[in-house]
A and B are shown apart, each in its own frame.
Chain A
Amino acid sequence: MDELLLTGVFLGILFVLLGSGVWVGLSLIGVALAGMLLFTSRPAGDAMATTIWSASSSWTLTALPLFIWMGEILFRTRMSEDLFRGLAPWLMRLPGRLLHVNVAGCALFAAISGSSAATVATVGKMSIPELRRRNYPERMIIGTLAGAGTLGLLIPPSIILIVYGVTVNESIAKLFMAGIVPGIVVAFLFMGYIVVRALLEPHSMPPADAALRLKEKARESLYLLPVILLIMAVLGSIYLGIATATEAAVLGVVGALLLSALQGSLDRNTFVDSLMGATRTSCMIALILAGSSFLSLAMGFTGLPRELAAWIASLELTPLTLILVLTLFYIVLGCFLDGISAVVLTMAVVEPMIRQAGFDMIWFGVFLVVVVEMAQITPPIGFNLFVLQGMTQHDIPYVARAALPMFFLMCVAVALLIAFPAIATYLPETMSPAPGRPPT
């Protein structure tokens, strides 16, 4: 059969399986299987089992369930209240007042949690009722929360950065470091937007709560201490080269358990719930990664990535054009797939292209996460929108409209990232190397 026709059949199977709603992980196995059958006479089943075994039993992957578990434990603590109490007195004086709690709270929680849905849920649990009670504009409450929740994916620890790192075989510790400054930049963009809106429409913002004296402020700030200690233990140990990503994750789990015990939220139920929740989430991601490892193998036989890379090279696009095309591609893809599936599914094809074009893979990882994050707040598939829909009883179109300004601000963030790549690459270049793993 003609190569082109084969490729068409292959892609057709991909669209039909994914589009009809077959579970993503299994779809990837199915597509890979079809690729093997169409393009090579190698025994597909044995190749599959070997590939999936070595991909699933890798040491790098162990950071994934541990960071997920850490987030699940913290989600079940009184973290929401602590963040609100600790941040509110300080942000009250800024134009836009407590709306900033949404952004700052998400940024802080993002630094101890790897998922954006969990970030939205944790911060929103406290801030939505509190802000509503004080009559802040509803659309701003929801919009800023939807936008800031995406920081959960960008600011390390980040599940999606782990998935990306495992898929393209880059250091997770470096990717984590690369995500920090862009995350802070995005947070400042959101806060800047709140300030501008508040200055333009001063009447829409409710008055400040009674001011606290400095001593009281300091006392309230103590509520932030556990979060800050955890952040320092996890991210600090990675940056200083004291711990690998996996080791930092275990420190995080132990720290989260301690914190939860000290607060009195740790009992048999919360422990089991957090553990089972983490087991399910990491199993879901592991199945996708297993499927994707087999798909990468099959893709190699199809020659598709090679040809696509050669074709892109022959177009002699400027790096800027290539990045813009990819940005559009991922935003559209994000309308149908969740972030992790989108990254995993495409990397087998996109990776050779990106490497050939000479991009820094660490920088590209951060770029990819920002773009995929934008898709989290656009309908029809946007996990932050779903979470907020559940929490606020507004319908998806309303939540999406409220989040739209944040989408544009993230476009600005992408532009900044392209113009000043050092935003992402500075920290990974200055961090200390991770402790050497004993020889295996």
Chain B
Amino acid sequence: MRVILDRLYVVTGALAALFLVAIAVLVLLSIGSRLAGTYIAGLSEYAGYCMAASSFLALAYTFRHGGHVRVQLLLQRAGGRWRRALELWCLAIAMALAGFLAWYTIKTVIVSIELGDVSEGADATPLWLPQLGMATGAAVLALAVADRLLNVLRGGALEGGASDTHD
């Protein structure tokens, strides 16, 4: 289970990186097409979709790396048991919010499929497709936060501990 979860975070992170490269490629294409005097419809929309996919798919991976900012003032001053309690509170709130986000982004995908929503831009993409990246990323984040919460409840290391620094 541990291995599968860790691999999931890394794989979604790698996907996010691919989408970042895709943004660069799309923008290069749009510069190239402009120089060539042609126009490829929907490039900027696709770049936007890649942006959303990259941002969301990287959520869990970034979380595992301690990459999301938080106010450390209290956390750094709290010691021992208080520190652990505070961390549990933060993780519980974060899990609820990430779960909420996942729930409604998944719902958005379902609604887009049911209504057959299509992008208003020149690309006319069925919206559920790019929204899938957002929903997947949010769901994996909720999973990663729950994973960490269980780990801390079982007495595992807090953020910044050795268990987080490698993957």
Contact = CB atoms under 8 A, between A and B. Distances in A.
B17 A18 contact: no
Interface residues of B, number: 61
A424 to B, nearest CB: 27
Interface string A18-55: 11111111100110010000000000011011101100
A283 interface: yes
B90 interface: yes
Interface in A239-294: 243, 246-247, 249-250, 253-254, 275-276, 278-284, 286-288, 290
Contacts of A23: 63, 68-70, 90, 94
A45 B96 CA distance: 13
B108 A283 contact: no
B149 interface: no
Contacts of B105: 49, 52-53
A102 interface: no
Nearest to A440: B121
Interface string B103-124: 1110110000000000001100
B64 to A, nearest CB: 10
Contacts of B39: 438
A45 B104 CA distance: 6
A341 interface: yes
Interface string B47-78: 11111101110110111010111111111000
A65 interface: yes
B29 to A, nearest CB: 10
Contacts of B31: 243, 247, 250
- Size range of the chain A interface in the assembly: 35 or more
B20 A287 contact: no
A45 B103 contact: yes
A104 B81 CA distance: 48
A186 B13 CA distance: 38
B101 interface: yes
B27 A57 contact: no
Interface centre among A17, A46, A276 (most CB of B within 10 A): A276
A244 B21 CA distance: 18
A56 interface: yes
Nearest to A275: B17
B58 A283 contact: yes
A276 B15 CA distance: 10
Contacts of A25: 68-69
18 contacts: A19-B73, A21-B70, A23-B68, A33-B100, A46-B108, A59-B51, A61-B48, A62-B48, A243-B31, A250-B24, A275-B20, A275-B21, A283-B55, A283-B62, A284-B69, A286-B51, A286-B55, A287-B68
Interface of B: 13, 16-17, 20-21, 23-24, 27-28, 30-31, 34, 39, 41-42, 44-45, 47-52, 54-56, 58-59, 61-63, 65, 67-75, 86-87, 89-90, 93-94, 97-98, 100-101, 103-105, 107-108, 121-122, 130-131, 134
